Structures are given as structure tokens and as C-alpha cells.
């Protein structure tokens, strides 16, 4: 049903992931800049968003794109702009500066979030990127507030035991989830390897997945939740939406995102692709009240507090433990 969308998304994310990997080799120190919220961002963000936006605009010119970046800083900085243009030309063969700048800016436009749109996180897990650890390129297609297709490109994550680093994780609602190498030409149904969440039945036997950065996940509260459920396995600490890939492929059973503050709301691009990959792999993703996530309210998950992804088998007991230790 979504074959063209899936093929386009897989190709775009694979190109963007390879661009990010190339940028990581040469540009981390020179290209890091600061956004107003002080989170680090690199030219790889802009290059990644550009190649994805260009691909979507070519295949689906009427579809809105919701992204994390706009091109304002590039229009004011010749050095950064030149590096982005060079990366995009090398990765996607596009050299038209105005076309590339406009492609990046498409992600900042207004849209009706109740209708069909794409949302992209060009580099999720910037600190992991800068450290050379886990990060992800995330792209999802949303219709009527629900992700119907998602692709995660994880340049430092392997698709399976003994496989080289660099994996795509993709899902289509109602059709399952798959993984393939970033270097592979396709990961469409029947052409990639199907993935499923693990079969662990008891929370006490599960492995917990959390962020490397304690600022992104309260390790102390996570430990309290683990203690309450009898979880003794050491946490699996990785950055970005690669945590969703870990749950979807059975390497971990649980990922939760505690609210940063009473007022903070999660950005849609941080969860849309990952959530459908987990759900399509047989897992469950909700907020801390147990409600499924809805992506129809704007650029944030305005209606939701906290996010929990599990293999689905002990989701309710996890919610109860969270409410007991960290009620929201």
C-alpha cells in the first residue's frame, strides 16, 4: 500500500546516514555550532535534512515536511553553507544552492497536523554523533495523527549479530518491521530481515534501555523502577532513537522517556519513526497514562507526558511501577 513511500524513505534515509557518517570523519570539531537552546548541532544536520527533503519533494511534491532545522544560520554563514553544499552535492548529486536551502527550509513551514505529512529528525542523538557513538536519522509518514511508516537509519548500529555497523530499521503499519544494512539497496517487505520484539514474559527478566546522558534520562529514577520490578540486568545505554531499534529487534525489552520538566513536551520527530518500528515489530508504545501517542497536535506531543516502549507483555506493570515511583 505504501510501496513508493517506503522505497523513497529507505533510499533517502540511507543516503542521509551515509552523509552523516562521512561528515563525522572530517567535520565534527570545525562544524559544531550552538542553537538557541544550547544543544549542539552540526552541518551534518543540515545536509541530512536537505537530502531527505529533496527526495520527498521529488517523489511527493504536495506532502508537507516537518523538520528540526531551517536554513537561517546557513544563509548567514558562508563557511557552514559551503560545507553543507559540498556534502549534499557529494551525497545526492544536487549542487543548486537555492534549491538546497529551500529544501532545508521546507521543514520549518506550517502544516495541518491532522492530515498527511512527513516528519524528519536529520540527526537524533547529536551528542552520540559527536562522540562517535549511537545516533539515528529518523523519518516517518504520519496520517490522521498516526505514523503509518517509519525508517530509522543507525550508522553505528548493526542489523544483527556478526553484521557490520550501519543498519536501517523500517516499518509499515499492518505489514511488520524489517532491518537491512545501510549499504543494501532495499529493505522493503520480503527484501530485508523481519524483526520482532523479544518474547520475555516477566519484567524481572527484562533489559532496560536508557540514554547515555543522565541529563536525558534520570538514571536514579530508572533504577528505582527496576528495583520495584526486580530487574537486575544492567541497563543498555545508547543514544537516540536507536533505543527504539533495540526494543524492536529484541536487544532490550523496555525504553522509557521521563518528562524533563513539568512544562516540557517531546518533539514529534523524536518519536514518530521509532514508535511505529516498535509497534510494527509487536511491541507497545504509550504515554505514562497508557494512551497511544497521537501526532496530530503540532510539532510537540502536547497531549502526552512521558513515553514508554516495551515488548508489550508487561507494559501495564511497567506503567504501574512508573506511577508509583515517578507519578506525573
Q: What is the pLDDT of residues 195-249, one digit of tens each?
A: 999 999 999 999 999 888 655 557 788 889 999 999 999 989 999 999 999 999 9
What residue has cell string 527526495?
A: 55
H/E element, 169: strand 165-172
Q: How far apart are CA 186 and CA 195, in angstroms?
A: 15
pLDDT at 116: 98
Whether residue 85 is found in the same domain as residue 139: yes
User: Is 8 tagged catalytic?
Assistant: no
pLDDT tens for 127-138 read 888 888 999 999
Among residues 126, 179, 286, 310, which one is catalytic?
Answer: 126
Whether residue 23 is found in the same domain as residue 127: yes
Instruction: Provide mean pLDDT across the span 240-267.
Output: 92
φ and ψ of 307, to 5 deg: -135, 135
Measured in whole angstroms, how far is the alpha carbon of residue 87 from the centre of its chain? Answer: 21
Whether residue 180 is found in the same domain as residue 208: no
**CATH code where residue 74 lies:** 3.30.540.10
* Residue 89 CB burial class (10 angstroms; 0-12, 13-18, ≥19): middle
Q: How far apart are CA 139 and CA 161, in angstroms?
A: 25
Last residue in a domain, options 176, 194, 212:
194
Whether residue 139 is found in the same domain as residue 190: yes
Among residues 8, 42, 45, 310, which one is catalytic?
Answer: 45
Last residue in a domain, options 194, 211, 244:
194
Q: How many CA atoms lie within 13 A of 251 on its CB side?
A: 17
Whether residue 210 is found in the same domain as residue 178: no
User: Is 205 tagged catalytic?
Assistant: no
| Domains contained in the chain, number | 2
Instruction: Provide mean pLDDT across the span 259-267.
Output: 86
Classify the C-alpha dihedral 267-273-116-180 as positive or negative.
positive
Instruction: Print the domain residue range for 152.
Output: 3-194
The C-alpha cell that represents 235 in the structure block: 541497563
pLDDT tens for 225-234 read 999 999 999 9
Whether residue 38 is found in the same domain as residue 142: yes
Amino acid at each position: 500500500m505504501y510501496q513508493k513511500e517506503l522505497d523513497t524513505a529507505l533510499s533517502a534515509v540511507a543516503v542521509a546516514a551515509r552523509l552523516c557518517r562521512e561528515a563525522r570523519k572530517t567535520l565534527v570539531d570545525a562544524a559544531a555550532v550552538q542553537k538557541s537552546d544550547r544543544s549542539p548541532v552540526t552541518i551534518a544536520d543540515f545536509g541530512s535534512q536537505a537530502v531527505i527533503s529533496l527526495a520527498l519533494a521529488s517523489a511527493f511534491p504536495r506532502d508537507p515536511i516537518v523538520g528540526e532545522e531551517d536554513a537561517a544560520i546557513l544563509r548567514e554563514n558562508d563557511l557552514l553553507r559551503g560545507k553543507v553544499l559540498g556534502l549534499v552535492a557529494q551525497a545526492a548529486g544536487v549542487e543548486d544552492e537555492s534549491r538546497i536551502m529551500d529544501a532545508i527550509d521546507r521543514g520549518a513551514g506550517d502544516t495541518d497536523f491532522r492530515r498527511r505529512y512527513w516528519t524528519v529528525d536529520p540527526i537524533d542523538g547529536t551528542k552520540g554523533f559527536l562522540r562517535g557513538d549511537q545516533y539515528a536519522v529518523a523519518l516517518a509518514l504520519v496520517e490522521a495523527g498516526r505514523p503509518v511508516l517509519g525508517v530509522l537509519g543507525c550508522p553505528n548500529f548493526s542489523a544483527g549479530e556478526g553484521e557490520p555497523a550501519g543498519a536501517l530499521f523500517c516499518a509499515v503499519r499492518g505489514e511488520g518491521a524489517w532491518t537491512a544494512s545501510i549499504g543494501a539497496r532495499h529493505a522493503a517487505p520480503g527484501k530485508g530481515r523481519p524483526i520482532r520484539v523479544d518474547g520475555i514474559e516477566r519484567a524481572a527478566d527484562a533489559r532496560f534501555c536508557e540514554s547515555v546522558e543522565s541529563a536525558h534520562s534520570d538514571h536514579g529514577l530508572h533504577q528505582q523502577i527496576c528495583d520495584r520490578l526486580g530487574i537486575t540486568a544492567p541497563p543498555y545505554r545508547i543514544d537516540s532513537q536507536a533505543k527504539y531499534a533495540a526494543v524492536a529487534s529484541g536487544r532490550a525489552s523496555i525504553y522509557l522517556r521521563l518528562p524533563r520538566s513539568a512544562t516540557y513536551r517531546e518533539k514529534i520527530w523524536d518519536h514518530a519513526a521509532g514508535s511505529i518500528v516498535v509497534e510494527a515489530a509487536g511491541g507497545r508504545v504509550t504515554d505514562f497514562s497508557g494512551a497511544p501517542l497521537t501526532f496530530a497536535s503540532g510539532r510537540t506531543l502536547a497531549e502526552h507526558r512521558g513515553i514508554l516502549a516495551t515488548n508489550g507483555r508487561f507494559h501495564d506493570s511497567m506503567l504501574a511501577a512508573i506511577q508509583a515511583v515517578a507519578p506525573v
